[in-house]
Structure 1
Amino acid sequence: MAAHSTTRALYGAYNGNLYQVRRSSDNTTREVGLLSAGGVANAATQDSFCAGTTCVITVVYDQSGHGNDMWYQGSAQVPGSSQSSPARATSESLTVGGSKAYSLYINPGNSYWRDGHLTGVPTGTQPEGMYMVTSGTHVNSGCCFDYGNSETTRKADAAGAMDSINFGTECWFGGCTGGGPWVQADLEWGLYPGGSQSWNPNQRALPNKYVTAMLKNNGTSRFALKGSNAQAGSLATMWDGALPSGYNPMKKQGAIVLGSGGDCV
């Protein structure tokens, strides 16, 4: 129901735009596409357009065909959030398949959002799964760096109103072992390392350069957390069991959030 990346196509046949940049010199925008269908971002488009000025990423396009594009909170498309701004477009470049690309480098105050409850994003008790490839070194202990299902109201509404991957060093309920960062579940009113407010001993820190983080939730009784070094090895299961008390059943609202918690911070 949604697929976002600033670095590459996530489908072999995809040949559309990945994201849009806006430059500060004249506030004009440019779409950044691919070198070829199914391939890597055409970073030269951004480099040429942003030469001699600064650029921000205003929107990350949905590659799934459902139209769930992620605009930055505070934009004309997602107004009303004075706490958010678009991420700088040139904070981090990397090499993907031998070609240069730019990551979506989230800092405090950068956040993206989409109300997708009418365009395929699960609501209520509907099951869903999600994953992201993110940095294991560019993290913090602030609340919250999330990607996943969130409130359409952009408020902290109730337990179970969110179903998002959280990745960072937050130790929400205390008792954590080590310093993280960890893959946890932001289910609203708490970041869960497992099925309760007690520390999950199967959790493991993932301080790798790139990390794969995964959350699955059947919407009524169970959820699972998985993660790994994105460049080597296999996924480890940190939790696969019952939802925490008070979160059964889920009350998902069907927005998508990236870079913040459900209440835009």
Structure 2
Amino acid sequence: MNYFNQFRKRSNVTSLQYLKPGGSFSIKKWFSNSAETGWLFITANPSQRATLCPLISAWISIAIKALMCRNPNHDNKNMWFILDELPALQKVSSLPVALAESRKYGGCFVAGLQNIHQLEAIYGFAECASMLDLFNSKFIFRVSDQVTAYKSALTLGEQEIIETQENLSYGSNTMRDGVNMNNVERKRILVMPSEIMNLPDLTCYVKLAGNFPITKLTMQLQNLNTAFVCEYKLLKKLKLLEY
């Protein structure tokens, strides 16, 4: 067990060697500065993502804790956390609490995932379910996993339908034959899992917070800026450290 803990600590510390020496930027100060505007991007090249994952997770944790240190008042400007591919991060212990309590501090969270099993493997079944429930608005695109599709369908809710059932009765005399019509109410899933699994590209089901109907939405691709380009010297250093 001690060997495993040492190996895990060593793996987490390895990411620190990618940091540049010096610099005065502070995530905590950036949050506390009410005049600060703009975006703070925390990203990594896919080839280095596994190595940098502990560092990125730590930065996000620092940002969340800085958010929760603000005074809980209505003057706080909204701070948006956009967490794409949430299961790609290590467990961020402060995230479940932030999802539940950060609204009064101006916290707003958007997270994306492709497979619910990946998130359950990190946070556990119960905590994963609790976290997903705290996202009031949901955009559900096509998924290939049946369990994820089924749970997504349950999230969209149910509908009540009335079915008419016809019962025939026969008597010894043709005059005694009869037909009874009964209306039966029952519930069914509003959107079937198979419908979610077969959605076209850029098409999703939308569930918004409040008394709004479930909507099927098709999006259009916008003109995008050039992707993030890593500094050449840093990229060369990353490659040397990997070998």
In terms of Rg, which structure is larger?
A: 2
TM-score (norm 1): 0.30
TM-score (norm 2): 0.32
Structure ranking higher on relative contact order (CA contacts 8 Å, 6+ apart): 1
Bigger strand fraction: 1
Bigger helix fraction: 2
